Amino acid sequence: MKINEVNTPAYVIDEKKLRENCEILKRVQDSSGAKILLAQKAFSAYSTYPIIAKYLAGTTSSGLFEAKLAHEEFYPENDKNIKPEVHVFEPAYNDDEMEELCNICDHMVFNSLNQLEHHRNKWEKAVHDSTLSVGLRINPEFSTQSDHEIYDPCAPGSRLGIRLCDLPDEIPEGVEGLHFHTLCEQGFEPLKATFNAFEKHFRKYLTDKNHKIKWLNLGGGHHITKDDYDREGLIELVRYIKETYDVEVYLEPGEAIAIDAGYLITTVMDVVKTEKYPVLILDTSAACHMPDVLEMPYRPPLKDSGEAGEKEYTYRLSSRTCLAGDIIGDYSFDKEIQIGDRLIFEDMAIYSMVKNNTFNGMALPDIVLLHENGEVNIIKHFGYEDFKMRL
């Protein structure tokens, strides 16, 4: 089957592009000595895990379900004997889930001293019996973004990470690592500035001779696979941290792994005249299939299109849901758009499949894999039962 034969709407994962991203990350990993993890919250289409696991050191999870998925599915192609690392961070862990998490995770990061102590009995047993290593998420209180406060864990009043003023002079017994995550879709300079602030204020915990910290996790939000990312700068920083403090360094990007490695293909169902631009009613929806478009908000790239007014025919792209604001954006084209035309949204692998929903009873888009030889195969087809079973 070819890509123009798939039923729409469909998310199409581009295997070639996914591999290219992973190859870049592997080179950074090999040259810097960092361990790079897939943050599954951005992308968990697990049929591709055997590809990604060939290159990366493991995964990180936002809770039990993602951790289980990684534990079950994240193995390199044809080699189930290799066991990539499973990490987890949650602002608060459920008592009932702790034991299972302790059994399947290699790293567990706590967001507060309360949480660390509340679960101490369980994790201490796992540390003793297995390879579990426990860390604390800290808040370096160093914001590097002003555009999207909802994605800024250093914004005033943030619940994410322990501030320096709330940490004891000595790291609590049993804690082996520190974690911070502060960036969102950013280049190397903001990471460097954040690390400098972290080093200045938290250095004593890295150099304490009586209590050796073994690892430092620099979180996600690094756009490492973008062409203009300063990868040499990142490699140098990781080497510096490893050499100076004798710690393992982890990076856990989500976006960077599958950025530009997926499309959302949609069909034009109607063209409605308005006093402004004509509106294309699509068989996809921002609210249901690309919620970040409304949440962030942002204008997704669309193949062969321009800004409003840039090309001859401008349309407002919208959806068949009842939500008046379910608008994807205004785009222009060289030719008039007809009912039945197919449009291709780009960069739709990340934060799409993991966030979609069936509001209005909208069907979920199929998940399709585009192989390097141009053939596609349907990984998942969704229908009425998927809508009904959740309600």
Give me the residues that bind ligand PLP (CB under 6 A), please.
Answer: 39, 41-42, 60, 89, 181, 184, 219-221, 252-256
Closer CB to ligand PLP, residue 137 or residue 289?
137
Ramachandran angles phi, psi of 216, nearest 5°: -130, 125
Distances (CA, A) of 243 to 33, 177, 248, 249: 10, 16, 10, 11
Closer CB to ligand PLP, residue 219 or residue 329?
219
- Residues 231-251: b if buried by 16+ CB within 10 A, e if exposed: beebbebbeebbeebebbbbb
**Measured in Å, how far apart are the chain's first and last C-alpha atoms?**
34
For residue 186, give the DSSP letter: B
| H or E stretch covering 334 | none
- Which ranges of the chain does DSSP label H, i.e. alpha helix? 15-32, 49-52, 64-73, 95-104, 113-118, 120-129, 188-207, 231-245, 255-258, 286-289, 292-295, 384-388
- Shortest Cβ 153–ligand PLP spacing (Å): 7
Closer CB to ligand PLP, residue 151 or residue 313?
151
- Shortest Cβ 249–ligand PLP spacing (Å): 14
Closer CB to ligand PLP, residue 133 or residue 321?
133
Closer CB to ligand PLP, residue 162 or residue 279?
162
Question: Which two tokens mark 115?
Answer: 């949480």
Distances (CA, A) of 121 to 30, 100, 125, 372: 37, 14, 6, 49
- Shortest Cβ 97–ligand PLP spacing (Å): 18
- Shortest Cβ 8–ligand PLP spacing (Å): 26
Closer CB to ligand PLP, residue 251 or residue 376?
251
- Shortest Cβ 221–ligand PLP spacing (Å): 4
Length of the chain: 391
For residue 147, give the DSSP letter: S
- Shortest Cβ 148–ligand PLP spacing (Å): 11
Peptide bond into 301 cis (omega under 30): no
Closer CB to ligand PLP, residue 192 or residue 342?
192
Closer CB to ligand PLP, residue 108 or residue 280?
108
- With contact defined as beta carbons under 8 Å apart, do 35 and 248 qualify? yes
- Shortest Cβ 284–ligand PLP spacing (Å): 22
Closer CB to ligand PLP, residue 219 or residue 300?
219
- Shortest Cβ 346–ligand PLP spacing (Å): 17
- Please give the Cα distance from 321 to 337 (Å, whole number): 20
Question: Which two tokens mark 122?
Answer: 């369980």
Cβ partners under 8 Å of residue 36, min gap 6: 25, 26, 28, 29, 56, 57, 250, 251, 252, 253
- Shortest Cβ 118–ligand PLP spacing (Å): 20
- Please give the Cα distance from 257 to 37 (Å, whole number): 9
- Shortest Cβ 254–ligand PLP spacing (Å): 3
Closer CB to ligand PLP, residue 94 or residue 207?
94
- Please give the Cα distance from 384 to 363 (Å, whole number): 7
